Structure formats: C-alpha cells, structure tokens
Structure 1
C-alpha cells in the first residue's frame, strides 16, 4: 500500500513538471509574438526553461536544425543559450567560436544582461581551456556590463574569485568573495561566498577568522536544510580545526560529516584517518585509511600509504612499513611525472598565450602605424591642396587686378577720344561696355574676399543675428568701397551731383543685395531708401539707372 502511494506521488510530480514545462513553452510563444528583436519561439522557450530545466533547454536548442539561417538577433541568442545550456549540463566548452557570435552581437559598450552573460560564458570557455588570465578579463567585462545587482552578478564574482584563488592572489580573491556575499546577503545562496571567504582566511593562516566564517556558512546551510552543503561544511570545519591542532573538535565535525554524507564520504574518511592518526588512535586511523583506498584518486592513495607507513612505523611493523613506503614512492613518482607534464603543458600554454599576445601587439602596432601614415599622407595632401588652391585664388585675383587696371587705361583713352571724336554714339557704346565689364570685374574681385561671405551671412541672418553682426558694418562698407573704387569714381565723374551714399547705394544694388541688407549697411529706413532712389533717378541717365536698379524692375 505504501509503495502504491509513493508511485502515485511520483507520477503526480512528473505530471506537474510536464505541466510547468508546457506552460513555460506556451508563455514563451505568447511573448515571442510581442518580441521585436527575437522571432523564434523555440529560443524564447529555451530561455524560459534555462534556470530550472537546463537539460530541457538544451534539447530544445539542439532540435533547431539550421541555426545559421536564423536572423542575426536570433543567431546571437542561440549561440548564448546553447553555450549556457552546455555549461549548466557539464558539457565541456572546447571551442569559443560559438559564444563569440553572441559577444560580437551584444558588444562590450552598452550595459545589458545578455551582453554580460555573453562575456561571462566566454570567460568560462577560457577558464575550461586553462587560459585563466583571459577568463579574468572577460569576467571583469561581464561585471562592468551587468546592469543590475542580482544572483548572476554574484556568480560572476564567485567565479572571478576562484580564478584569483588559482593564481594564489588570495587578497584579491577574498574581496571578490565579499562582493558576492554583499549581493547575496540574507538570501539562500549566501552560504557559497561565506565558504569562499573562510577558505581564503584559512589559506592566509587566519584560522580564527576562517572558523568564524565557516560557522556562519554552516548556520545558513542548516537554516536552508541543504544536506550537501551541511556535509561539506562539517568537513571544512574539521580541516580548519585540524590545522589549528584542535583534534578533538576536528574529530567531532568529521564524524558529523561522515554521518551526513554516508557512502559518498570517501574523502571525508581520509580526513578522519588523518585526524585519528594525530590523536594517536592507530587502529581507527588504520581502519579509515584502508576503508575506501580503492575509490580514491592517485593523490588520495598516496596519502593513505603514507599514513599507513607512519602507523606501521609507530607499531614497529617494519615489513608492513617498508611495503607501504614502497607503494607510496611508486605513487609519488607517478604524481611527480603527472606534475611535470602539467607544468610542461602549462608552460606550453603560457608560451602560446605569449605568442598570441605578441601577434596581437604586432598587429596593433602595424594598424597604428598604418593609421598614422595614412593620417600623415592625408595631412600632406590637404596642405598641398590648400597651397594649390590658395595660389590659384591669388593668381585669379592678380589676373582680375591686371584686367581692372587695363580697363582703367581704356577708360582714360576713351576720355581722350571723347575730346577729339565727334561720333558720340560709338563712344557711349564703348563706355557702356567698359563700365559693364568694370562692374563684373569688381564683383569678381569682391568674391575673392571674406567680405562676400559676410554679405551672404547677412542675407541669411535673423533679426537677432543682424544685431550681433552690426559691429561689422564699417568693415564691410570699407571692403565694398575698396573693391568698387573704379565704378564709384566713374559714377562720380559722370554724375557729380551724386553723393557718397548715393553711389554706395548704387553699388549695393549692383551686388543684388536685399532691401534688408541695404538698410542695415546704410543705417537707413525703407522710406529713406525710397526717397534716395528717386533722387538718384533724377541725377543720372535712364540707361544707367535701369542697369543699376534693374533687379528691382
């Protein structure tokens, strides 16, 4: 009857799990209809199942047949989720090409959870490959990109601390563990950083501090009823008390660890044997050394044979002691060989890393040199272009001045002809042509100066800008008068009744200035300009008047 009841409960649990999974998938499908960036419902479903059911998420992701055909946003999320699912299912991350797709998409500038996760799992890939320094860089980038302080950020700090611990940077590692603890403080996960802090204190020979943090972690684990952590912390406390040479307390906690862990307490039994040896309880020590010797790795077996050698030596059993020390020496030689191979591999990996860094450095130097060279060449081209353009502008200005001088000479010759010749009609025609050409030359000369740009700025200026530019009025008038000096002198000679302002008004009209600009430069009102125009009309010929003010007509 009891068996049937247990089976029915198990079926209910399975049914409930399936119901939750189906509900999550339906919810993700609904959310996908509202998503503007990620369009695949399978990806959103896998994302929703990742934390609780990573194996289900992995199955969904592996069911996607052609991920390379997905849109770019979907492809990046697929790469991130597949790497995350493999990591959570303890599948080795041997290649970083997958996660690099997500890293390149999410970048390292803008803060977001997915960008932080991409860099974290890139760091996890490096860590599994043994590239601890690269892993640390990616973990630090992930911390910088994380927008919120949550359990994932605490996990990044925890893994970062383990990397520092591996490199024996205990002071930095304990700071990272403390950052993780500050995030998780008061929560169910705070036991892990507390245990890490305690371990760092023990490695720094701060035994009292280590015991304090171990007890705090144990209290949290007992409150949460986490049996795996409780057993591990009992073992940690036993080792801490053993380091402090408080063997009675060490025996107390190691016995509790064996009770909690049961058949899984292989390494705990080895610790128990060492504590019994320190208490000089040789029979108990011998029993625990022999108990699980076949289940231990090579390091554990070496410790067992060394312990049994010490027990046999204390008992005076020299033959047994010799056999044990011989077995220990064989294992020690194997360990030394393995250590040498690991050191060789580490040196080879370090060499590869240094070579990779050297290549990156050379590539960076080459890129910088290319950019500097290109910038220098561009600057040289710009300088030469500026010099060429400036020379061209000066030559054009000189040519205009020469032509303008020639027109002055032609005008003087024409005046002499006027005295001697009787055909005034031809003279007037020549004079009109010379005057027109002179006007065009003066306009061309003005265009080569900054004054022309200032006139254009006045044309586009608002009322407030006109008030600001009013200080330039005198300078602009002077530039225009200098450029049109020949035209103004000719007008004055032909029509002596014209005043200086009348002539300047004619020049502004020839330049096609707007009424607003003319009013601003002459500091006159609209009615005053109208009156002046009527006076000018009475002082000059109709043909010249039409040429000067023809734009108004």
Structure 2
C-alpha cells in the first residue's frame, strides 16, 4: 500500500512537471514568434514571465537562453554573460543541430563585433558559416555573410568584404527583403568606392536608393546620412546636401547637423555651417561633441585663429575624456550585472545552453546602426600637420605660462610630456611607413592593410619624398585616403602594373583613380 502511494505521488509530480514544461515551451515558442516579427518588447515581457529557477528541462533552458540573448541584443540592452552564448555553442556541438549551432556562433559573432573584437568575431562567424549552409537557412546565411562583409570592410580586407557582400545581397534578393537589399547594396557601393571602382560604386548606390523607402524611419535617417557622406567624399556637394536634408527630414540628429555643417562650410556658407555645428555640439552625445569640436578646432587653425582653436581642442578633449569615463562606468556596471547573472545561473544549476527557431529580422538594423555611428567624413588626414599644430599650440601655452610669472611648473611639465609623446609617435609612424614601403616594393600588396597602415605610409611619403609630395599634393583639392595613396605610388614612380598589384585592382579601376585625380586638379587663374 505504501509503495502504491509513493508511486502515485511520483506520477502526479511527473504530470505536473510535464504540464509546467509544456506551458513554458508554449511561452518560449510565442516569444520566438514575436521576435521573428520584431515585436521585441512583447517578446521580452513573455520571457520575463518565465521563472528561471523553475527551468528544469534542459531543452527549455537552452531555448530560453538563446531567446534572452537575442532579445537583449535587439533591444539594445546590456549583453548576457559570455558563459551563456559559449554554453550554447558547447551544447549544440555535443547535441548537434546545424541551425541552432550556427545561430549560437552567429550571436557570439555579432556580440564580439559590437565590442570591436573583430578577430574573435570573424573566428566565430566563420565557424558558424558551414553549419548555416548545412541548415539551408537563408536568413542565417545572409546575416553571417553580412556581418563578415561589414567587419572585413572595416579592417580594409576589401576583396573578402566584397565576396561576402555578394552572398548577402544574393540571399536578400532571393528572399525579396527590400530593406536588406538597400543595406547590402549600400555596402557593395562602399566597398567598390574603397577599391576606386567608381562606376560599380555608383551602380550599387543607385540600387540602394531605389529600396531606401522600405527602411524603417530611424534606419532611413541613418541610411541617407551615409549616402550624404558618400557623395561628399567624391566631391558631389549638391547630392551630399540633398541626402543629408532627407536624413534630417526622416529624423533630425546631431550627427546629421554636423555633416550638413561640413557641407555648408565647403560651399562657403560659413555662418550657417558654424551654427549647425554649434547645435550638433549642444544636442550630441559625448562622442559627437568630441568629433565636432575637433573639426571646429581645425577650421579655426586654418583661419589662423589659434587661441579659439586651442579652446575648441581642449573642449573636444574634455568631451572625449567624459565619454571614456562614462564607458568605464557602464563597463563596470555591466561586469557586476554579468557576475550576478552568472551566480544566479550557478545557484539554479543551469548549463546555459541556447537555441531558437528563427533569427530576428531587426538584426539588420543594429548592424546598419553600427556602421553609421562609425562613419566619418573620410578625408585623408595629414597626421604630421596635425601633430605640428598641436606642438605649436602646446609650445605657445608653455611660453604664456612661463611669461606669467606664476608657479606653473607642473602644467609646463605635462605639456612638455605631451610634445615628447607626439614626437615619439611621429617617429614610430614614419618607421612603420618605411617598413610598409619595403613590403610593397618587394612584391607585397595592401589587401590586409588597415586604415592606420595607409595613413602611416602616406606620412612616410610626405617625409621621405618631401619635395615631390608637397608639389603633388599642392596641385589637388580634397583627396580621400585611397586617392592620396594612389597619388603617392604614382609620385614615387611605381609602374601601372605594380600599382594594380599593390592595390589589388584591375587596369580599369586604376584608370578610374587617375581620372578622379585629374578631376581634382585645382584650377589656377
């Protein structure tokens, strides 16, 4: 009789557990569906209604953890602890599921991308790629390719970026996802632009613009701002103005006001430009403030107003310091939250694997927003000139302090240290440029070069070939880094065949570069 009673109790407990697990599963499926249809807030409410401590079923825990990772990501919330997504990868490697393992690698990859940890991000995305292909999930294949294209464009691996951009665009076209076609076409345009293949760049830009209306309002604003920057960088100021005004119409932002200010300054509308930049500083976050104030400082230096330039440079530095301090605070808070979450997981005895049946369609928006926030007006910078201006300003400050008769030894010492650091950095840059010159002269290419590598080579060119560099640059207006690099190779004396090898471009692309350089020659009255 006692055995029968114990058996009955066990059956009741099992049935209750099954009912709870079924109810939990239904909630998870609902949350997953809501995420797929970008009802992200509603999905998060469903997920928060589930008790983590009562998630005893391993498959439900897995499902819950990936959905929480996904929901946190698309809602711009602090990321889940690394142990969760790593647990996903471990679990689905052990209990193989091609689609779910690919998704785990994908989410790990985009989290790392958002942290600017590109090397690890590429590794994770590449690991997920074969599983995505095996699962035949077109959305997942698209997103992995898109993110790989974005990262490779950022680090200057243009051929690899182009390969993955083609894959992403083809998948977007197959699925008839117009907003994705717009973003992928824009990225193709950016890559071809970086490769100095202007006809192809224009083709994909026009294609992107055809689909721009399908973008959500915020993304459309960001997209038009990117288009404006694109046209500014090829010296089409009227088109640049047209699209930045469309960006502002979709949604006014501090960065859009800044871009419009830069355009107006180039058009000679100085008062309007300055007013827009002041508004951008007033409305923008610390990163915008720092960038805009630095640009305003450069303008004042060009006008010979060194006192105002110095004040603006100091305000820019203060904004940058505030941004770093805030980021440090946020990182510390996130670290504490992650530790607390990890502890809660351990106490509940969870493995923290993850799974889901669909990727959120909104992931494209986050990637696009990342591109936009990193986008700057890509003019070739004269790093040495910037450094010399800084040294000049610091020297003037030291002279003023010494002449004041006050005890300002500590401040003077700090400024002298800044000058010393700048000169040390200059020497390192030139040394790096010299090494890069030897590499390409010995048969190397620039395929794996970073933006810093190109800038270092250009600064080396300006020092080592000073007279030729001054003469060459004085003939041209504003040049992009890519155009200035090509000009430096031509000036040094590399043959067309060598330049094609070095830059990994076709003869047609080189002709385009030379044509663009010819259009940039200043008119002398």
Q: TM-score, normalization: structure 1?
A: 0.48
Among candidates 94, 106, 110, match of residue 120 of structure 1: 106
Matched, 1:132 2:118: yes
Matched, 1:60 2:46: yes
1:330 matched to which residue of 2?
314
Structure 1 residues 236 and 85 mapped into 2: Cα distance closer, same or farther (>3 Å)? closer
Q: Tell me if the contact between 1:211 and 1:240 (Cα under 8 Å) persists in the aligned partners.
A: no
3-state SS, counterpart of residue 36 of structure 2: coil
Larger RCO (alpha carbons 8 Å, 6+ apart): 2
Shift of 1:51: 1.6
Shift of 1:309: 5.3
Q: Tell me if the contact between 1:136 and 1:160 (Cα under 8 Å) persists in the aligned partners.
A: yes
Shift of 1:179: 0.9
Structure 1 residues 80 and 256 mapped into 2: Cα distance closer, same or farther (>3 Å)? closer
Matched, 1:105 2:96: no
Shift of 1:312: 6.0
Q: Tell me if the contact between 1:157 and 1:176 (Cα under 8 Å) persists in the aligned partners.
A: yes
1:161 matched to which residue of 2?
149
Structure 1 residues 336 and 93 mapped into 2: Cα distance closer, same or farther (>3 Å)? closer
3-state SS, counterpart of residue 50 of structure 1: helix
Matched, 1:71 2:62: no
Q: Distance in 2 between matches of 1:50 and 1:94?
A: 17
1:449 matched to which residue of 2?
none
Shift of 1:155: 1.5
Among candidates 221, 228, 231, match of residue 212 of structure 2: 221
Shift of 1:239: 1.6
2:170 matched to which residue of 1?
182
Q: Distance in 2 between matches of 1:341 and 1:171?
A: 37
1:250 matched to which residue of 2?
240
1:211 matched to which residue of 2?
202
Structure 1 residues 253 and 86 mapped into 2: Cα distance closer, same or farther (>3 Å)? closer
Structure 1 residues 201 and 292 mapped into 2: Cα distance closer, same or farther (>3 Å)? same
1:294 matched to which residue of 2?
282
Shift of 1:156: 1.9
Matched, 1:150 2:141: no
User: How do 1:3-42 and structure 2 match up within 5 A?
Assistant: 40-42=25-27
Shift of 1:184: 0.5
Shift of 1:325: 0.3
Structure 1 residues 289 and 156 mapped into 2: Cα distance closer, same or farther (>3 Å)? same
Write the deviation string for residues 296-328 of structure 1: whole angstroms up to 9, x where unpaired: 2445435544555566678x7x7xx34430223
Structure 1 residues 285 and 307 mapped into 2: Cα distance closer, same or farther (>3 Å)? farther
Q: Distance in 1 between matches of 2:216 and 2:27?
A: 34
Shift of 1:62: 2.6
Shift of 1:83: 1.4
Gaps of 5+ in 2: 1-17, 329-525
Write the deviation string for residues 312-353 of structure 1: whole angstroms up to 9, x where unpaired: 678x7x7xx3443022321454588799999x9xxxxxxxxx
1:457 matched to which residue of 2?
none
Shift of 1:82: 1.9
What is the root-mean-square deviation of aligned Cα atoms in Å?
3.6
Q: Distance in 2 between matches of 1:285 and 1:194?
A: 31
Q: TM-score, normalization: structure 2?
A: 0.50
Among candidates 10, 23, 30, match of residue 45 of structure 1: 30
1:504 matched to which residue of 2?
none
2:184 matched to which residue of 1?
193
Larger radius of gyration: 1
